[in-house]
């Protein structure tokens, strides 16, 4: 066991290094500042051997996407290959997210798969970027990248890359990010090679098995506090101008395993609130074990401790062509909030982890130019239910510097402070020229989760749910981020 721990810690370090490389070299703000990616090493099964993620959503998605790729390329994977998939209906979640898998061979045999799942800046769809709050079907949100080979035997498949770049309004950013991802995967391959030479394949595979067993025991012990629990609950996902979407859940635990049964939830909707089954599972997992996730090696042993049941064609297991673009921004929060509340029951002590916030993506007027990289302007954050910092579900996003926004990006931040209510208020002037925007302010319990307002002179226009709305040069955007905590100790 001790030797296994030693070997496994090397593998975990390789995965962490892969993650650091992406963070430092990705060019898009979504990856470099937003940390909207996850990295992992998977076995051939595929099982997650080790994973690093910065937000809850990825937990099961790398494995599910890898499974789709391995299934598709079952007998056609070779040393030097990198295969890619980006499709909510091939193990994915939201659009514009690609999973890259690099089969790693040792002495001629396929042993592991370094993998990176990352949200790219733009992969077509009706509006630039990842936000389309009124999409009715997935193709409005992005192209579907079903399994393809980007590298074959180490040779770049230029037609595939060209296809991806020609379907992006931010080709330069996408190209740079893919290169950073490929470099990280290749470096991981070299490090894995060193590890296997040092320790031998058997020791590495044994260490992975032991680590997965350890993870299973660790999380099982933690979840066993709810053994015998059977609880039912429900919540709604609110939308502007439509009826709320019902989310029903029966939560039970036995033998240190949690079962989340969403049977009875709303059928899928022709709006982007749908959330794929693997994505749901990630939110349930984080809701259940958030307190221990920073200290536990995230592997299949952890993931195995949680099961989700849902009806095909429902809001939590949609089928084509349902749009899923708001599953991170809205639906995931509702899922996690419901699970958290039900686990707490009548007890006390589980701090909330959810907390939706306004979102806006800006771009040059549609049709005005071929290259139109979107800009996700997110100059503040919601205050978590625990009273400090952003909610857990906001992930590990880096707040943009006001000085960088002005000097480099063309947005002048005039104000960014806590309001008397303790929420973060931000006022930004657009100096980037005439723009358009897609925006949403999530709703909850009959109220908006914050506010986003366009200010032009005396005229104020709420941007609660906007697609392609004009944001003139010189206009102001006023952000009010919600505060989910109770007591306010403002002047200490």
Residue ranges in 162-221 that form contacts with another protein under rule CB under 8 A: 173, 175-176, 178-180, 182-184, 186-187, 189-191, 193-194, 197-198, 214-218, 221
Tokens read off for 194: 């060193």
Q: With binding defined as CB under 8 A, does residue 146 bind another protein?
A: no
d(CA 284, CA 12): 24
Q: DSSP class of residue 405?
A: I
452 touches 425 (CB < 8 A): no
Q: x/- binding map, residues 338-377, to another protein, per CB under 8 A? A: ------------xxxx------------------------
| Least distance from another protein to the Cβ atom of residue 480, Å | 14
- Using CB under 8 A, which residues numbered 221 to 240 contact another protein? 221-222
| Least distance from another protein to the Cβ atom of residue 265, Å | 25
Phi, psi angle pair for 230, to nearest 5°: -140, 110
Task: Candidates 233, 264, 395, 469: give the one binding another protein (CB under 8 A).
Answer: 395
β-strand partners of 444: 447
Q: With binding defined as CB under 8 A, does residue 139 bind another protein?
A: no
Nearer to another protein, 230 or 291 (CB): 291
Give the pairing type, strands 306-309 and 97-101.
unpaired
| CA angle in degrees (0–180, nearest 5) for 225-228-233 | 95
Q: With binding defined as CB under 8 A, does residue 408 bind another protein?
A: yes
- Using CB under 8 A, which residues numbered 27 to 66 contact another protein? 27-29, 32-33, 54-56
Nearer to another protein, 234 or 407 (CB): 407
| Least distance from another protein to the Cβ atom of residue 19, Å | 12
Task: Candidates 245, 269, 286, 338: give the one binding another protein (CB under 8 A).
Answer: 286
415 touches 438 (CB < 8 A): no
Nearer to another protein, 216 or 277 (CB): 216
| Least distance from another protein to the Cβ atom of residue 86, Å | 18
- Measured in whole angstroms, the distance separating CA 364 from the mean position of its chain's CA atoms is 25
487 touches 426 (CB < 8 A): no
3-class state of residue 376 by DSSP: strand
β-strand partners of 237: 245
| Least distance from another protein to the Cβ atom of residue 352, Å | 7
**Cα separations in angstroms, 259 against 306, 310, 416:** 6, 11, 43
Q: With binding defined as CB under 8 A, does residue 399 bind another protein?
A: yes
Task: Candidates 61, 135, 290, 342: give the one binding another protein (CB under 8 A).
Answer: 290
- Asked whether the CA dihedral 395, 316, 444, 122 is positive or negative, the reply is positive
β-strand partners of 465: 440
| Least distance from another protein to the Cβ atom of residue 300, Å | 14
- Closest by CA to 208, choosing from 104, 282, 117, 78, is 104
β-strand partners of 41: 50, 114
- Using CB under 8 A, which residues numbered 301 to 330 contact another protein? none
Q: Which stretch binds another protein (CB under 8 A): 2-10, 136-144, 275-283, 434-442?
A: 2-10
| Least distance from another protein to the Cβ atom of residue 173, Å | 7
Q: Which stretch binds another protein (CB under 8 A): 20-28, 92-100, 324-332, 361-369?
A: 20-28
Total number of residues binding another protein (CB under 8 A)?
103
480 touches 451 (CB < 8 A): yes
């Amino acid at each position: 066991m001790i030797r296994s721990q030693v070997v496994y810690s090397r593998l975990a370090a390789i995965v962490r290094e892969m993650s650091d490389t992406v963070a430092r070299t990705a060019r898009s703000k979504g990856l470099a500042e937003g940390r909207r990616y996850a990295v992992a090493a998977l076995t051939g099964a595929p099982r997650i051997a080790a994973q690093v993620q910065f937000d809850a959503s990825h937990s099961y998605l790398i494995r599910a996407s890898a499974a789709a790729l391995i299934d598709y390329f079952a007998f056609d994977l070779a040393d030097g290959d990198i295969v890619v998939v980006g499709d909510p209906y091939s193990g994915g979640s939201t659009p514009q997210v690609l999973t890259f898998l690099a089969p790693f061979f040792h002495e001629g045999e396929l042993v592991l798969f370094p993998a990176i799942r990352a949200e790219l800046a733009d992969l077509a769809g009706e509006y630039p970027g990842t936000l389309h709050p009124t999409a009715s079907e997935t193709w409005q949100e992005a192209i579907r990248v079903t399994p393809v080979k980007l590298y074959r035997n180490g040779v770049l498949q230029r037609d595939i890359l060209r296809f991806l770049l020609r379907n992006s309004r931010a080709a330069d950013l996408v190209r740079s990010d893919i290169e950073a991802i490929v470099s990280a995967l290749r470096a991981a391959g070299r490090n894995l090679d060193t590890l296997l030479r040092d320790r031998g394949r058997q020791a590495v595979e044994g260490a992975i098995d032991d680590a997965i067993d350890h993870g299973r025991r660790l999380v099982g012990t933690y979840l066993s506090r709810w053994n015998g629990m059977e609880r039912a609950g429900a919540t709604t996902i609110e939308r502007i101008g439509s009826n709320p979407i019902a989310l029903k859940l029966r939560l039970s635990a036995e033998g240190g395993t949690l079962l989340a049964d969403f049977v009875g939830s709303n059928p899928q909707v022709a709006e982007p609130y749908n959330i794929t089954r693997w994505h749901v599972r990630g939110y349930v997992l984080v809701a259940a074990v958030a307190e221990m996730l920073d200290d536990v090696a995230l592997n299949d042993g952890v993931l195995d401790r949680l099961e989700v049941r849902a009806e095909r064609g429902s809001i939590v297991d949609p089928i084509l062509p349902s749009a899923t673009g708001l599953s991170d921004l809205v639906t995931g929060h509702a899922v996690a909030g419901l699970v958290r509340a039900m686990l707490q029951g009548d007890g006390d002590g589980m701090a909330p982890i959810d907390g939706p916030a306004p979102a806006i993506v800006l771009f040059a007027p549609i049709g005005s130019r071929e290259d139109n990289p979107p800009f996700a302007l997110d100059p503040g954050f919601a205050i978590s239910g625990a009273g400090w910092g952003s909610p857990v579900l906001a992930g590990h996003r880096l707040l943009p510097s006001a000085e960088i926004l002005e000097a480099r990006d063309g947005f002048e931040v005039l104000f960014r402070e806590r309001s008397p209510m303790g929420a973060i208020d931000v006022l930004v002037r657009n100096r980037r020229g005439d723009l358009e925007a897609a925006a949403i302010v999530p709703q909850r319990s009959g109220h908006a989760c914050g506010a986003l307002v366009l200010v032009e002179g005396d005229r104020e226009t709420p941007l609660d749910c906007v697609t392609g709305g004009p944001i003139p040069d010189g206009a102001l955007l006023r952000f009010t981020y919600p505060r989910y905590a109770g007591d306010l100790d403002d002047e200490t």
